[in-house]
Amino acid sequence: MSGTLLFSPMHLRDVALKNRIVVPPMHQYSAIKGFPTDWHLMNAGKFAAGGAGLVIVESTKVERRGCGTIGDLGIWDDKFVEPLSRLVTFIHQQNSKAGIQLGHSGRKARATRPWEGDRPLSRTPDIDDWDEWTPVAPSADRTPARKMARCPRALERGEVKDLVQAWGNAARRAHEAGFDVLELHGAHGYLVHEFLSEKSNQRADEYGGSEANRMRFIIEMTEAVRTHWPFEKPLFVRLSVEDNAGWGPEQSARLAKILKAKASTSSTARPAASPTWRRSSARRSSTITRCRCRSTSRPTPTS
């Protein structure tokens, strides 16, 4: 097995992976008010102990409104840093690297868990911040996959700006917690994807309309993230490269080039050399785009 590329080391910026086995983010639905539990320690820890080079913690929400369902992890406050660092410490003790995915569910927020039907959640006494958990989206339209879904509230322009900063602050907290790799969730019909899609984004301001305008949110978000996320650490972006709803490979390629340039020229980023392939096949570039072909209307139980 020594000659198998899968088990060879790989460098992503200054992060050295012992092999190329990556555990992707997977929802556990086990957080308590956004905080990780022993379940998260066990789940991430078993993959690290099993030898994976990189273990990415599930989609962790940048604000309360972004939680998709009960049990989502949160990173919208500094109080989440220490509990998340506990996961990082254990992963590092297994000689693995720790990643985390940042996300926001947008109009798909406040829903039941997949095995409960993935439908709008009903208000119960145990949810003490129901009003703060109001689903928001670029536009006030229903989610096609949920016929009985309530219409989300359209974000005001100022709220969009605030969300950009929320992603930046979340990146800062992820760094303070000790994570080595950061992934931004821009796929699967969640908030970022909703801005990109001409179907779900019906805004008339600078965040809607043309392709360039619909890209504006994720571009500003990436710049805010890189301001707080060190240049030495890799930054990933997940996209639905083909969503069967107007967003396809051509648009994804154009966006990936823009994000790569933006992530290399933000205020904290050092000048980057031209990305090259080393003999070890380790690519050192500022932004890696992870691609999955998903429909905007298709719910998914994973991050």
Q: Known catalytic residues?
A: 190
Alpha helix stretches (DSSP H) within the chain: 38-49, 81-93, 157-177, 191-196, 211-228, 249-264
Q: Are 154 and 136 in contact (CB under 8 A)?
A: yes
Angle, vertex CA 109, rays to CA 106 and CA 110, nearest 5: 155
Nearby residues of 172 by Cβ (< 8 Å), 6 or more positions away: 228, 229
244 alpha-carbon distance from chain centroid: 21
The answer to whether 167 and 184 are in contact (CB under 8 A) is: yes
CA–CA gap between residue 130 and residue 122 (Å, rounded):
10
Q: Which amino acid is at 219?
A: I
Q: Are 285 and 236 in contact (CB under 8 A)?
A: no
At which residue do the structure tokens 């992707």 appear?
24
Contact yes or no for 102/76 (Cβ under 8 A): no
Contact 80, 74 (CB under 8 A): yes
Q: What is the DSSP secondary structure assignment for residue 111, as one 8-state letter?
A: B
